[in-house]
Amino acid sequence: GTRRDSARAVIDASGTWQMPNPLGAGGIHAEGEAEFADRIAYGIPDILGRDRSLYAGKTTLVVGSGHSAANAVLDLASLANVEAGTAFIWTTRGTDLVRIYGGGDADQLPARGELGAEVRELAESGGVRLVTGFAAVSIRDANGRLVVEGQTRDGLQALGPVDRIIAATGQRPDLSLTRELRLELDPWLESVKALGPLIDPNEHSCGDVPPHGHRELSHPEQGFYTVGIKSYGRAPTFLLLTGYEQVRSVAAAIAGDMVAADNVQLVLPETGVCTVPRIGVADKGCCGGPAPAAVDACCVADAKAKAVGKGGCGCSVAA
Ligand SMILES: Cc1cc2nc3c(=O)[nH]c(=O)nc-3n(C[C@H](O)[C@H](O)[C@H](O)COP(=O)(O)OP(=O)(O)OC[C@H]3O[C@@H](n4cnc5c(N)ncnc54)[C@H](O)[C@@H]3O)c2cc1C
């Protein structure tokens, strides 16, 4: 049944895990995706653990270009070393894998750097068949196995036949819970609005984000806050460290301690492959992004400062 509670404030920390993105590259289910759902895993299945029998001796298609896909690909490679007949194909919608290959030794989170470096080595050594620029549109049966069709630069291409599919295509927030409320969200990412320009993975790969707290995480709906990975919407770069500071600030604000609430401190480990947030259109030079942070440091500082309402260094951007 439904229970109604009254509250002075509500903190939505419900995450995004229960809303995986579909296999279909356009954000809606690929044709056949529902029909063959029993052979599709979303996110990262436990390939070397409890799901081992599903993948051992089978051929799997991994779809996605994030860390989840990288984990799945590396696990399948390990499995293939010890289980005869195990094969896998890796396909990505985009063609630029710089974000997942990462900054290697320059990544301030060593494990993240290692993950990218390992998957890069696997792909570049031919240890996995990698098909980039493949936008999945349909799944069809092929004598009891599955063939996935996708749009590529050269027209429709088919991958397979495979036995199973791993859709590591990210997650999105479930906004149905709050549909009635006046929320201010980034129209593309469905993140809180202030963070959108700084975490858009199409523009920004640094992994850092300026310190932010209760002000950026609030909405026109008074007393309502979005925190945690849900505050990042569809952006894939959220770290627990960010969430801890978000929650501390929001809790302090609700308790009325505005000094503590506004004293937000956050230093995140950078990825080592930094591109600049494109927050506007500039003719040339500054703010054209993406560009190495060192080249465009003024604009990075400016964008960050503006996003948290703290002025900026004066770099001119037509927003
Ligand atoms: C594969 C993977 C690996 C990751 N690795 C790292 C890592 O190494 N380090 C790191 O910092 N971050 C990592 N992250 C990001 C990580 O998910 C977040 O940092 C962290 O889990 C986010 O915490 P959260 O509380 O916002 O959301 P979650 O951990 O997803 O928690 C949300 C909770 O809300 C519950 N919930 C949902 N809907 C409702 C509802 N309607 N009512 C009540 N409860 C509800 C859910 O069941 C869940 O328990 C990883 C993410 C993924 C997907």
In tens, the pLDDT along 252-300 reads 999 999 999 999 998 888 888 876 544 433 333 322 333 333 333 433 4
pLDDT at 148 over 50: yes
Choose the weakest-confidence range: 99-103, 160-164, 264-268, 292-296: 292-296
174 residue type, one letter: D
| Distance, CA of 90 to CA of 112 (rounded, Å) | 19
Give per-residue pLDDT as tens, 179-237.
999 999 999 999 999 999 888 887 777 878 889 999 999 999 999 999 999 999 999 88
Residues 131 and 239 in one domain: no
In a domain, 262, yes or no: yes
Percent of the chain predicted with pLDDT > 70? 86
Q: Based on the fold, state whether residues 76 and 147 are members of the same structural domain.
A: yes
Does one domain contain both 149 and 255?
Answer: no
Atom 22 in ligand 1: residue holding the nearest Cα: 229
Which residue's CA is minimally distant from atom 40 of ligand 1? 14
Q: Are residues 154 and 207 located together in one domain of the fold? A: no
The closest residue, in CA terms, to atom 1 on ligand 1 is 68
- Classify burial at 34, counting beta carbons within 10 Å of its beta carbon; exposed 0-12, middle 13-18, buried 19 or more: exposed
Q: What is the mean pLDDT of the chain?
A: 87
Q: If 0-12 CB within 10 Å is exposed, 13-18 middle and 19+ buried, where does residue 237 land?
A: buried
The residue among 317 and 201 whose pLDDT is bigger is 201
CATH of residue 141: 3.50.50.60
Q: Is the peptide bond before 161 cis (omega within 30 degrees of 0)?
A: yes
Q: Report the nearest-CA residue for atom 36 of ligand 1.
A: 14
Ligand 1 neighbours by CB, cut-off 6 Å = 13-15, 17-18, 44, 68, 177, 228-230, 238-240, 243
Q: What is the spatial distance between Cα 4 and Cα 182, in angstroms, rounded to a whole number?
A: 19
- Pick from 2, 11, 14, 181 the residue to mutate for probing ligand 1's pocket: most ligand atoms within 8 Å of its CB: 14
Separation of CA 143 and ligand 1 centre (Å)? 39
Same domain, residue pair 197 and 229: yes
* Closest ligand 1 atom, residue 227 Cα: 26
Q: Are residue 41 and residue 148 in the same domain, yes or no?
A: yes
Q: For residue 310, is it within any domain?
A: no
Range of the domain at 239: 10-15+172-274
Distance 16 CA to ligand 1 centre (A): 7
**Ligand 1 pocket mutation, candidates 10, 11, 12, 17, criterion most atoms within 8 A of CB:** 17
Has residue 39 got a pLDDT over 60? yes
Domain count, the chain: 2
Q: Are residues 189 and 146 in the same domain?
A: no
**Torsion of the alpha carbons at 216, 112, 131 and 59, rounded to the nearest 10:** -110
Is 136 within 8 Å of 63 (Cβ atoms)? Answer: yes
Report how far ligand 1's centroid is from the alpha carbon of 265 (Å): 22
